[in-house]
Structure 1
Amino acid sequence: MEFDLIISALLGIFLFHGLCSSEKAPNYSFMREATTAPAISHYDYIIIGGGTAGCPLAATLSEKYSVLLLERGGSPYGNPNITNLSAFGSALSDLSPNSPSQRFISEDGVINARARVLGGGSCLNAGFYSRAAVEYVRAVGWEGGLVNASYAWVEEKVAFQPPMRGWQSAVRDGLVEVGVEPYNGFTYDHVNGTKIGGTTFDADGRRHTAADLLEYANPKGITLLLHATVHKILFKTKGVSRPLARGVIFRDALGKIHKAYLTRGEMNEVILTSGALGSPQMLMLSGVGPSKQLKAHNITVVLDQPNVGQRMMDNPMNAIFVPSPIPVEVSLIEVVGITSFGSYIEAASGENFAEHYALNDYGMFSPKIGQLSTVPPKRRTPEALKKAINAMSALDDAVFRGGFLLEKIMGPLSTGHLELRTRNPNDNPSVTFNYFQQPEDLRRCVNGLKIIENIIESKSFSKFRYDSLSLPALLNLTASAPVNLLPKHDNVSVSLEQFCKDTVMTIWHYHGGCHVGDVVDQDYKVIGVDKLRVIDGSTFNYSPGTNPQATVMMLGRYMGVRIMNERLAKEKSPN
């Protein structure tokens, strides 16, 4: 076990050295601390959650209406752990109460994170930008023309073409060589085969996030409050045919209570954009959810809605480290292989970073952020993480030269559920994802690993591998280099199925809990309640494309335009 923990430290190889841009952050005159808010206020729209969907939605609605955007975290601007590619992973490893990332551990034992910052997950992720498939758009019933226009609106501010240097180019060429075809070049579109996707890191290594989309906002139409934690949605239940959202209660950083109400108007609304954990949690805390669970926490039942918190999903990720005989560039996700069998192949790389190692040993696969694949999920304890982190300092610098090839399965088909632990909105709910519960998910993982094996052994990738290290050698202990990612079993050779289960990690693409058709309708209105919508990844029946952030940002813009168009049409209607 001790040696396993030492080897697990290899998952911290990514120390990214992007340049700090001198570009000034946006000066949002409408952004202020919640402590400055009045005790009572009124708005046409109240949006709970200034994340990946909330920012574009608020910016859009502010064009014509008064909008209150409530964010429980702080600003991403001026925080180098968010802005600079060189510090990727630093925010995810920060366990302080003021961290932009709030760690949670699913009941499956996989360590995960939820955003607690303006801009949401777009402030913490690896930056890959890729649209949903055309088939996905059709299946969910979105209007194609408006979808494309909404993506373009987002891309104007946050998406860029990545540099594609040696390692990423070798992975790209290897994917094509082993049959993940056709090669589609650089495109934001989701198309089968191999492609170069977009990135939210610009040429200077500066991250752009959903918060940047607030540059589109009408400063006279929006109020943005930071460190504003919503405790419940307020409903009118008397004298109405069904519950009607009328406002929210929130606390500022000092604990002071504030109330915000909707102004009078038939179409004014409260809109939840708090993400796959936050939105079902807030519905339950407000009395909309499974009545048995609500009563167990002494929450008054506004609407018995048993589907809230159900069908939670997280796409499992499995990765293989490949040590390189030559230096490799620093890169995050830039290329993807979209296979025909439902697995996405991606890659990231590091370099020999001796001069920076002591100061910045963070990364996408670091035990500091909980990505400890050498220990099966439920054994990834704080003690195990600490040992892995300490063991990193004992390794020779040469072992940190290389990169990871990873696969993520589409969907997934396996689902779980979310339950309240407490009535405190700052506390994480309990969530179970049931990774690989469905055999098809496991089959996709195995097939994805086989593609990775073929890439490693391809001619295109040959200069980045040691000829003596085959995939079995990479999966098992070798004498030449400590590169094993596999938890030890009594037998020497462990099946790929077992490898998938034992090394499963998150790629932070969890979704569900407020599904369309179960909790919200096709217009994202909460079923059985008036003046309340949910617009975020909690409504997704499966994760869009290879990476969801582009589609979540698009959805915020898309629904903002839809809502405004609906109001305009009704105002013009003679009835």
Structure 2
Amino acid sequence: MRTSLSLVYLAVSLVSAVPVAEHEKRQNAEFDYVVVGGGTAGLTLANRLSEDSNIKVAVIEAGGLYQVANPLLSSTPAGDVLWAGSSPLDQNLLVDWNFITAPQAGANGRRIKYARGKCLGGSSARNFMIYQRGDRGSYQRWADQVGDDSYTFDNLMPYFKKSVKFTPPNTQLRANNGSAEYVASAFDAIGGPLDVSYANYAGPFSSYMEGGMNGIGIKTRPDFNSGELMGAQYCSSTITPRNQKRASSQTTFLEAAKNRANLKVYSLTRAEKIIFNSEKRATGVQIPFGSILSAKREVILSAGAFQSPQLLMVSGVGPAEQLKKFNIPVLADRRGVGQNMQDHIFFGPTYRYKVQTLTKLANDLLYVGAQFAFDYGLLKRGPLTNPVCDFLGWEKAPRNLVSSEAAAVLDQFPASWPDIEYLSAPGYIGDFSNLFVTQPKDGYQYASILGAIVAPLSRGSVTITSSSTAQLPSIDPGWLTDPTDQSVAIAIYKRTRQAFATDAMKRGLADTKEYFPGPKVQTDEQILNTIRDTLMTVWHASCTCKMGKIDDPDAVVDSKARVIGVTGLRVVDASSFALLPPGHPQGASTTYRVLATGLLNQTGDNNEEDFNALGNTNDSGAFDSIQLVTLVDQATSYQHILLFDPWWAQEDSEMPRSPKFALVNEAIERSGIDYVVNTTSIVTKCLPITTDCGLPNRTDDDSTIPYHCSDIFDGNLGEIPANGLERLKGWNSTFYNLENGSPQESSIASQLNPFNYNATALVDSISIGGLAIWSMIHRYPIALSLGLAMAAWALQFRALQQFTTSRTRS
């Protein structure tokens, strides 16, 4: 308890340096386009639409800013393994939806956590950062299925090039045996906002994997971005080369739109339903407190493969039988809404290796702290720059390793479409329950090769559980339920073992033993059962609002992404893919959105056919035009409200700029362990406040104060200054069961504002079963900054390990 309380002292003292920003009145508003979802899709789309200053665009996003909630761990490439486990206990309460699947028949009844980004940037802030494009054959099949040649690879290539800004690998920092090949002609010299490059550190295990791939007949190929995938190579990543941080749609596409007064982002705001008129035309989106954001032209859903179909269904578009269960009036009976879910899964064996892997990072916190402070923090190099997986291989499943029935089905896929993808996984994987705390602590380094099924036949579904979007939908991916997938899965395990048995991979082995699942797993039945016990999603859910021809009864949108059966409504995200291409859909998703914006312009008032490339980030100026509007949703379980400006003014060009106001609402949820953090309000500085967030106002000393801000005012403070509250009040209800005015309360309160509130700061937080640990690196003399950084990382990783271990054991 003493350690926990000391962390709370640290949390309260560090939060205080960030000022509160002014709140803007919440009310009904009208735009040309209302985009639901500020993730990979929505922000890319909003960027393109708002290029025309005459077009007003609103983006509704349920999450906040991962730079505030989780910046060190979300922005650092190596941090992508955190909270990516299959265990329902491995949750990130700050920037993730933490979906839990229905029991999976193909996974021995397991319920698997499905990570999805709940923040600006969406899953581009949570993924493993791999960027590659699909093969020509898959895009040709897409075009054929929807009857639109816009989706062939050659026709998409200009959009591929326009969406990204490519930087070649830094050969001065990468090891000689980690040379990444690329084809320069696959990219444009100008490009768009999304950074695509390579980590300044090549994982040493990957060079052994390359030899193993070559040894089983998978030859090295030049790249994965020119329409061909068969072969092996280092993969490019969405990484910003100048600082080696994650490049997300928020740090790139939203950043590029920062000076546009016609773009407004409603963060921490849940879309409740789509509003239709009597002619079945979408006219707006209802958000909490009865407010409506109206769309003069169109509403665009970019809420992802789980929540775009959910929002359609609660709004009356979907399978009539399902809607009637929840007394939802049926506007359009579309049986395909929420159906046809496609996804990739992976799994694989683990061996001991003689080179450094993730096992080192998970078990040596002093090393991690030193790496963060020096190699990563100062020199932009070292293992923290690497997003863990940096090498891929692709092939057709050897037909002698699959059943004749499976071979016949697989032969129906295009010749360029691989059946299997191999991914470097430098660490112990096991059952995927937690990729960090389960790393063995025996002093050895572990490494795995994961094999993924990338021509899956199994299909899943997303169904609603109520008429409200406040309740998460039910997700049943249906993984490994198709016999062909099962046959390919067994072949994958055999092929990965063959790769580890090659001379090239043997040279790196610490010994020849397979440590997971072990030599006892040999028969096809044993292998398949092991796969069922350990399979994990690659987080590529798609096709739940499938694109298709108008006469396809299972299609939800047409080739222009328009929802069939209503007007004024589109779905533009992975849910509206016609099919799931092999590999990682980030590249396809970004390009699809750029293409869709071109289609929107062609069918709207702006008929330009050849629009300019997206603009690049401008580091100068302030983030004045984008107003991050936050609505506090009374239906949520949030218990902890922090009021401060998450885009605080910075001299550092790597950070976003400060808008006029922001409200960050973070949850500290009650846990079943020894301590409970009760309802708490912390404020550091209130600027003039005359309006609220939709909650009732109250008047105090001739000042009108929003309800949730009035909570923090002490009745004994006397007159509230006309220019806002200058004195700080830490909380008004119990905090660790401390009473107001107690010596402990005073001790904590005295630490609330030890620094100038304009101090440059970087806030990081992780939620651990109800406890939020806040750390901040101030721009002090460099030695102190580095010391604080190392201490913060050590605290975070140790707390994460202890919490997850205790929850797993319980």
Q: For the residues of structure 2 that align with 1:130 and 1:96, how far apart are their CA atoms?
A: 27
Which of 553, 573, 588 is matched with 1:551 structurally? 588
CA contact (8 A) 2:357 2:427 kept: yes
The offset of 1:324, in angstroms, is 1.2
- Name the Cα RMSD after superposition: 2.8
Give the % identical residues.
Answer: 23
- Residue equivalent to 2:395: 339
Per-residue CA deviations over 1:215-241 (Å, capped at 9, x if unaligned) read 33361221111111000000012xx3x
Which of 246, 249, 273 is matched with 1:207 structurally? 246
Q: For the residues of structure 2 that align with 1:144 and 1:568, how far apart are their CA atoms?
A: 28
Per-residue CA deviations over 1:307-347 (Å, capped at 9, x if unaligned) read 11111122121122221134347552212111023010111
Give secondary structure in 2 for the equivalent of 1:88: helix
Give secondary structure in 1 for the equivalent of 2:274: strand
Q: Residue type matched to 1:213 in 2? A: F
- Residue equivalent to 1:497: 528
Q: For the residues of structure 1 that align with 2:608 and 2:121, how far apart are their CA atoms?
A: 33
CA contact (8 A) 2:302 2:572 kept: yes
Q: How does 1:112-261 map to 2 (within 5 A)?
A: 112-141=114-143, 142=151, 144=153, 147-156=156-165, 157-162=194-199, 163-181=201-219, 183-189=220-226, 190-202=228-240, 204-211=243-250, 212-217=252-257, 219-237=260-278, 240=279, 243-251=280-288, 256-261=289-294
Distance 1:477 1:280, change over 3 A: same
CA contact (8 A) 2:313 2:337 kept: yes
The offset of 1:73, in angstroms, is 0.4
Larger radius of gyration: 2
Distance 1:164 1:279, change over 3 A: same
- Residue equivalent to 1:475: 517
Which of 443, 446, 470 is matched with 1:398 structurally? 443
Distance 1:541 1:447, change over 3 A: farther
Give secondary structure in 1 for the equivalent of 2:347: strand
- Residue equivalent to 1:367: 433
- Residue equivalent to 1:52: 40
1:460 maps onto 2:498 in alignment: no
The offset of 1:259, in angstroms, is 0.8
CA contact (8 A) 1:95 1:103 kept: no
Q: For the residues of structure 1 that align with 2:355 and 2:559, how far apart are their CA atoms?
A: 52
Q: For the residues of structure 2 that align with 1:441 and 1:541, how far apart are their CA atoms?
A: 20
Distance 1:63 1:365, change over 3 A: farther
Give secondary structure in 2 for the equivalent of 1:406: strand
Higher RCO structure, 1 or 2 (CA under 8 Å, sep 6+): 1
Which of 82, 93, 100 is matched with 2:74 structurally? 82
Which of 564, 575, 592 is matched with 1:538 structurally? 575
Give secondary structure in 2 for the equivalent of 1:451: helix
CA contact (8 A) 1:146 1:558 kept: no
- Residue equivalent to 1:7: none
Q: For the residues of structure 1 that align with 2:340 and 2:457, how far apart are their CA atoms?
A: 10
- Residue equivalent to 1:14: none
Q: Residue type matched to 1:105 in 2? A: T
CA contact (8 A) 1:122 1:209 kept: yes
Give secondary structure in 1 for the equivalent of 2:349: strand
- Residue equivalent to 2:4: none
Give secondary structure in 1 for the equivalent of 2:570: strand
Q: For the residues of structure 2 that align with 1:133 and 1:328, how far apart are their CA atoms?
A: 31
Question: Normalising by the residue count of structure 1, what TM-score does the alignment of the two structures yield?
Answer: 0.77
The offset of 1:529, in angstroms, is 0.7
The offset of 1:456, in angstroms, is 0.5
Distance 1:416 1:194, change over 3 A: same
Q: How does 1:556-571 map to 2 (within 5 A)?
A: 556-567=593-604
Q: Give unpaired runs (5+ residues) of structure 1.
A: 1-31, 352-362, 372-388, 479-485
Per-residue CA deviations over 1:75-132 (Å, capped at 9, x if unaligned) read 1224222111243233547646543342322331232122211111111111111112
CA contact (8 A) 2:349 2:497 kept: no
Which of 80, 103, 109 is matched with 1:107 structurally? 103
Distance 1:306 1:186, change over 3 A: closer
1:429 maps onto 2:463 in alignment: no
CA contact (8 A) 1:101 1:124 kept: no
Distance 1:347 1:282, change over 3 A: same
Question: Normalising by the residue count of structure 2, what TM-score does the alignment of the two structures yield?
Answer: 0.56
Q: For the residues of structure 2 that align with 1:452 and 1:492, how far apart are their CA atoms?
A: 15
Q: Residue type matched to 1:526 in 2? A: V
CA contact (8 A) 1:315 1:410 kept: yes
1:309 maps onto 2:354 in alignment: no
Distance 1:508 1:570, change over 3 A: closer
Give secondary structure in 1 for the equivalent of 2:208: helix
CA contact (8 A) 1:231 1:282 kept: yes
Distance 1:319 1:37, change over 3 A: farther
1:73 maps onto 2:117 in alignment: no
Per-residue CA deviations over 1:434-479 (Å, capped at 9, x if unaligned) read 222211111221222222112111122123224431x5x643279x
Q: For the residues of structure 1 that align with 2:525 and 2:59, how far apart are their CA atoms?
A: 50
Distance 1:146 1:564, change over 3 A: farther
- Residue equivalent to 2:778: none
CA contact (8 A) 2:460 2:476 kept: yes
Q: Residue type matched to 1:194 in 2? A: A
Moved more, 287-296 or 520-529: 287-296
